[in-house]
Chains A and B, each alone.
Chain A
Amino acid sequence: MARTHAPRDGFTATDGGAHVELRGVSKRFGEALAVDDLTLDIEKGSFTTLLGPSGCGKTTTLRMLAGFFDPDEGDILVAGRSQKGIPPHRRNVSIVFQDYALFPHMTVRQNVGYGLKLRRLGRAEREDRVDRVLRMLGLQPYGGRHPHELSGGQQQRVALGRSIVMEPDVLLMDEPLSNLDAKLRVRVRAELKEIQRTLGITTVYVTHDQDEALSMSDRVAVLSDGRLQQVSDPWTLYHAPRNAFVADFVGHANFLPVQVERREGERTVVTVHGRSLVCHDPHGVGTSGAEAVAMIRPEWLEVVPAAGRDPQDDGSGRTFDGTVRTSTFLGSFARVWLDVDGLERPLVLDVSASSSTSLESGRPMTVRVPDGRPVVLAEAPSDVGAFGPDLPRRDAAQAVRATHGTTA
């Protein structure tokens, strides 16, 4: 793994950290089970993200890796060695905090050199390593400044520099970008990933932001209520979520209640209101005759142009006729909520902004579900709400009145 990438700015790649294993790790705080029997392999040199909503146990896991507390059950191994009972300052693991936790009384140089000084490194070597890191992060001009004299983005780099200068076995990051503004966040994301790849440091990254997780990670571990839901590469996570929670948390999705007809190898045919859909069933959850849920991403649905419609199309296939309830323009595309007869919730689809289709409320529209795209899941998520993802509030209120017949 080491030195496979070209050195950048004279900074040589390190040995690339270590292989990390979590084995049946549990952590309790009083009555609450923060992390529940978590088993996870983190490969040497990889960028692994722990993704989940707040309270899912991702930060607790990170803190156990840092050594701030030990697991109640299970064990954590770094390079094959159990970490139990090793205090944080004796682990070669370094953490970047969400609030950076820069030492306000030290300059940038002193902050970055702090850990090396504690390792009793010679002055010359220390200065040399600090210099390399500052150069790499573009912080050279700010070496003499104090944290309060830096912008948020610069502070974030100092926090990163302070960690990577230690050449840790594992680099831990706790939502390091959440204090940056949106534009900067996207830029730093790419830089962070690039630095990680250059150095080949084993990195564990915690976030609740799916975009961050999908764009940076080699592997993403989705957590909910302390339990591991799925761990895979970002592409698989998005296209073949293991369960409804993952499907709902990563990206947007329609969930259609369906009846499983038959299985054809990798494919499963299901019916919904007389239409049959050919689904992808990567996890093999569909059994013939059973009820299931088809998950369809908004961008998978295709609008069928009214003009090019084949009158002979008997509708057995994969089309839904509906009327546009509402739409929102989002720049490169528009998100449309389509009321379809017989469906409890409107279908949500993304229509390219270059499309000439009229998206006015009340307009009829026909959409097609391409074969093999929907994913069969065992059940729908519990808390999608009655109207599917992201319906504007105004329409949600209307829908409530419509369904309950109340006049507000």
Chain B
Amino acid sequence: MTLRQVPVLGHLIVQSQVAADLWRRDKGLGIGLLIVVALLVLFVAYPLLVVGAAPAVSDWVRGATTGRWRTTMGNTLFMALLSTLSSVTIGFLYAYAVTKVRIPGAAFFRLVPLLPLITPPFVSGLAFILLFGRRGLVTHQVLGLNTDIYGWHGLWLAQTVSFFPIAFLAISGVLRSINPNLERASQSLGAGGWTRFRTVVLPLATPGIAAASLLVAIAVLGDFGNPMLIAGRFRVLATEAYLQVSGWADLRMGAVLGLALLVPALVFFMLQRWLQGTSTARYVTVGGRGSRLEAEPAPPLVRWGLFAFCAFIAVFMLAKYVVILIGAFTPVWGVDFSFTLENFTRTLVRSGELWNSLRFAGLAALICAALSTVAAYLVVRIRIPFARELDLLALLPAAIPGTLLGIAYVLAFNTPPLALTGTGTIIVLSMVFMFLPVGYRICVATLQQLAPSIQESAADMGASGLRTFVDVILPLIATSFSAALVYCFVKAIGTLSAVIFLISHGTVVASASILNLAEQGYWGLAAALSTSLIFIAIAALAFARVAFGKRFALFDV
């Protein structure tokens, strides 16, 4: 048995040979790789290690034995289960209606779930308070009820509406990948509509649905804004960790609670990756050639039933935005519904918070897109050492709840040489790495579609690796660069969970300010500031669409 066959050591030996080879062949690429690796290690791996090492054994014991936190953990898992179940159910039905049944107005219904993906998630919480809260438009004004939305049921509603689009996106991708000829074949062998659905469509979609569930569960676990706004006394780990840090300055206990959140998130993340890999390997379509017949139109009852369902969801989603807009022009919600511009003048003109959000998110988006592109190029197209590890590291932040990332950054960058706490830099960095996975994935997908021969022919004509990247690859992946840019920007401008730990005097961002205003009951001001964020996000998307035309596709629906 040679050294190369020893499990870990062998891998190290082989990879270091690859490294030496790369360095000898192309110094420019070598340096590029070093920079990417250094950034990922410093801002993803290192903070995680610091936060992992922060709590002492006694803190873990305290976390596990205190009844209140045990309840919180129970609550968190309960919400993850409940909200995931509802989100995936709605997401599946919605995706099935839009992609398979092709209900009337499918093109419109396809677009509606994209709104929550580009607007801050806590908008749901805010909107549902305005709609169904103690002074809610529907509950109080119209129905005259004295209900209370605060609590787990309010959170359930807000999270379902916020996160079902994730399930919708993932599942519609899966449904579209099912060869319609399979349904036709089953039909020809004697299967009626329901049998086809039960024996062909559902089994084939199951791995995809499972993967979508895990994605949603990760998002629910990490959700901070909604529980903060609408959960009332019902506490989940994300909010509890924040309260430990902000209320008691107990960073170590915050770390314990945050890590308790990371464990299930990481498990889901790995499971999701595995599921995605195996299902595509197994269910890959065989015998690719051949004309495909569209699936048979669904019976009218199914078609119109699903149409009604989608219409209800869409109205619900749009009502969310309408009520925020109304709220922004209303002096005192629930009491005085006259028209005013004062909310805008007071929040926008006076404060630098929106400006902070804009410049931090803009800078973060640029860095994130650049890093995504370079990292994806290195991983997909160059034979680099530790490619798998690098890939994992770039995707890992997708599994890290924002709350934990915030605490980790506070702990890791509090002392020299990297004393960044209190600066704008740390906020920008947290945004970059939080949203890196999506940008990176977009770039990887594009690069995998480019024929390697393009790059080889450039090399053949004498271009170095770096030169090839700049001259050939960059122009070809300009659209995925811009998609990464826009995605990071719209997400960063509304993010709350990590940023809330990192702001200080002078670096307060709009999302944190909205939370603050809502907690104090300044609904009009909170709505006005939210409206501004929503419009900036939509404007950014519209701008990219105009600038890049049809080629710009942020979400593949």
Residues of A within 8 A of B (CB): 59, 63, 66-68, 87-91, 93-95, 97-105, 114-115, 118-119, 146-148, 152, 155-156, 162-163, 166, 174-175, 178-179
A328 to B250, CA, bound (A): 87
- Please, which residues of chain B bring their CB within 8 A of the CB of A91? 188
A230 to B281, CA, bound (A): 46
B187 at the interface (CB under 8 A from A): yes
Instruction: Please tell me which one of the listed residues B190, B195, B289 contacts residue A178 in the complex, with CB atoms under 8 A apart.
Output: B289
**B207 and chain A: residue at smallest CB distance:** A105
A276 to B12, CA, bound (A): 85
Q: Evaluate whether A155 and B182 lie within 8 angstroms (CB atoms) in the complex, with A88-B188, A89-B190, A104-B204 already known.
A: no
Does the CB pair B293–A63 fall under 8 Å?
yes
A28 to B279, CA, bound (A): 39
- Please, which residues of chain A bring their CB within 8 A of the CB of B204? 104-105
**A150 and chain B: residue at smallest CB distance:** B286
B468 at the interface (CB under 8 A from A): no
Q: A118-B195, A155-B286 are in contact. List 13 more A-B contacts (CB 8 A).
A: A66-B184, A88-B184, A90-B190, A93-B188, A99-B179, A99-B288, A99-B292, A100-B287, A101-B182, A103-B182, A105-B203, A105-B283, A166-B189
Does the CB pair B286–A99 fall under 8 Å?
yes
Does the CB pair A179–B189 fall under 8 Å?
no
Does the CB pair A94–B189 fall under 8 Å?
yes
Smallest CB separation, B497 vs chain A (Å): 38
**A180 and chain B: residue at smallest CB distance:** B287
Does the CB pair A179–B283 fall under 8 Å?
no
A87 to B195, CA, bound (A): 14
B28 at the interface (CB under 8 A from A): no
A68 to B190, CA, bound (A): 13
B263 at the interface (CB under 8 A from A): no
Does the CB pair A88–B285 fall under 8 Å?
no
Q: Evaluate whether A114 and B186 lie within 8 angstroms (CB atoms) in the complex, with A97-B290, A99-B179, A99-B181 already known.
A: yes
Smallest CB separation, A357 vs chain B (Å): 42
Does the CB pair A98–B185 fall under 8 Å?
no
- Please, which residues of chain B bring their CB within 8 A of the CB of A155? 286-287
A115 to B191, CA, bound (A): 8
Smallest CB separation, A35 vs chain B (Å): 15
Does the CB pair B186–A148 fall under 8 Å?
no
- Please, which residues of chain B bring their CB within 8 A of the CB of A93? 188
- Please, which residues of chain B bring their CB within 8 A of the CB of A118? 189-191, 195
- Please, which residues of chain B bring their CB within 8 A of the CB of A90? 190
- Please, which residues of chain B bring their CB within 8 A of the CB of A87? 187, 192
A115 to B186, CA, bound (A): 8
Smallest CB separation, A212 vs chain B (Å): 15
Q: Evaluate whether A147 and B286 lie within 8 angstroms (CB atoms) in the complex, with A95-B188, A101-B179, A103-B182 already known.
A: yes
B282 at the interface (CB under 8 A from A): yes
Does the CB pair A59–B182 fall under 8 Å?
no
A68 to B282, CA, bound (A): 28
B474 at the interface (CB under 8 A from A): no
Does the CB pair A102–B286 fall under 8 Å?
yes
- Please, which residues of chain B bring their CB within 8 A of the CB of A101? 179, 181-182, 184-185
Going nearest first, the 5 A-B pairs with the smallest beta carbon separation are: A98-B290, A115-B189, A99-B290, A101-B181, A101-B185
Instruction: Please tell me which one of the listed residues B181, B187, B203, B290 contacts residue A179 in the complex, with CB atoms under 8 A apart.
Output: B290
Interface size class of B (residues with CB under 8 A): 20 to 34
Smallest CB separation, B195 vs chain A (Å): 7
- Please, which residues of chain A bring their CB within 8 A of the CB of B182? 101, 103-104
**B202 and chain A: residue at smallest CB distance:** A105
A393 to B282, CA, bound (A): 44
A260 to B320, CA, bound (A): 83
Q: Evaluate whether A103 and B186 lie within 8 angstroms (CB atoms) in the complex, with A68-B296, A148-B282 already known.
A: yes
Instruction: Enumerate 29 A-B pairs (CB-CB under 8 Å) in ascending A order.
Output: A68-B184, A68-B187, A89-B187, A95-B185, A97-B181, A97-B185, A98-B290, A98-B291, A101-B181, A102-B286, A103-B185, A103-B186, A104-B182, A104-B286, A105-B204, A105-B282, A105-B283, A114-B186, A114-B199, A115-B189, A115-B190, A152-B287, A155-B286, A162-B189, A166-B189, A166-B190, A174-B290, A175-B290, A179-B290
Q: Evaluate whether A104 and B283 lie within 8 angstroms (CB atoms) in the complex, with A63-B293, A98-B290 already known.
A: yes
Q: Evaluate whether A179 and B287 lie within 8 angstroms (CB atoms) in the complex, with A88-B187, A93-B188, A162-B189 already known.
A: yes
Does the CB pair A98–B282 fall under 8 Å?
no
- Please, which residues of chain A bring their CB within 8 A of the CB of B291? 59, 98
Does the CB pair B189–A148 fall under 8 Å?
no
- Please, which residues of chain B bring their CB within 8 A of the CB of A67? 188
- Please, which residues of chain A bring their CB within 8 A of the CB of B192? 87, 89
Does the CB pair A119–B282 fall under 8 Å?
no
- Please, which residues of chain A bring their CB within 8 A of the CB of B283? 104-105, 148
- Please, which residues of chain A bring their CB within 8 A of the CB of B290? 97-99, 174-175, 178-179
Smallest CB separation, A75 vs chain B (Å): 20
**1/0 per position for B163-207, CB-CB distance to A under 8 A?**
000000000000000010110111111111001000110011000
- Please, which residues of chain A bring their CB within 8 A of the CB of B287? 98-100, 152, 155-156, 179
A147 to B281, CA, bound (A): 12
A101 to B191, CA, bound (A): 15
- Please, which residues of chain B bring their CB within 8 A of the CB of A162? 185, 189
- Please, which residues of chain A bring their CB within 8 A of the CB of B281? 148
- Please, which residues of chain B bring their CB within 8 A of the CB of A97? 181, 184-185, 290
B284 at the interface (CB under 8 A from A): yes
- Please, which residues of chain B bring their CB within 8 A of the CB of A59? 291
Smallest CB separation, A107 vs chain B (Å): 12
Instruction: Give residues 21-62 of B contacting A (CB, 8 Å).
Output: none
- Please, which residues of chain A bring their CB within 8 A of the CB of B184? 66, 68, 88, 95, 97, 101
Q: Evaluate whether A148 and B284 lie within 8 angstroms (CB atoms) in the complex, with A98-B289, A99-B179, A179-B290 already known.
A: yes
Smallest CB separation, A99 vs chain B (Å): 4
- Please, which residues of chain A bring their CB within 8 A of the CB of B181? 97, 99, 101
- Please, which residues of chain A bring their CB within 8 A of the CB of B200? 103
- Please, which residues of chain A bring their CB within 8 A of the CB of B185? 95, 97, 101-103, 162
Smallest CB separation, B361 vs chain A (Å): 43
A115 to B200, CA, bound (A): 12
Query: Which of B181, B185, B204, B286 has the most chain A CB atoms inside 10 A of its CB?
Result: B185
Query: Which of A88, A115, A148, A156 has the most chain B CB atoms inside 10 A of its CB?
Result: A88
Smallest CB separation, B188 vs chain A (Å): 5
Smallest CB separation, A68 vs chain B (Å): 6
Smallest CB separation, A351 vs chain B (Å): 36
**B183 and chain A: residue at smallest CB distance:** A101
Smallest CB separation, B290 vs chain A (Å): 3
- Please, which residues of chain B bring their CB within 8 A of the CB of A89? 187-192
Does the CB pair B286–A148 fall under 8 Å?
yes
Does the CB pair B190–A119 fall under 8 Å?
yes
**B288 and chain A: residue at smallest CB distance:** A99
Query: Which of A59, A105, A179 has the most chain B CB atoms inside 10 A of its CB?
Result: A105
- Please, which residues of chain A bring their CB within 8 A of the CB of B190? 89-90, 115, 118-119, 166
A173 to B246, CA, bound (A): 70
A163 to B296, CA, bound (A): 20
Query: Which of B188, B283, B288 has the most chain A CB atoms inside 10 A of its CB?
Result: B188
A103 to B199, CA, bound (A): 10
A100 to B287, CA, bound (A): 7
Instruction: Give residues 264-290 of B contacting A (CB, 8 Å).
Output: 281-290
Smallest CB separation, B522 vs chain A (Å): 54
- Please, which residues of chain A bring their CB within 8 A of the CB of B186? 103, 114
A370 to B549, CA, bound (A): 65
A93 to B189, CA, bound (A): 8
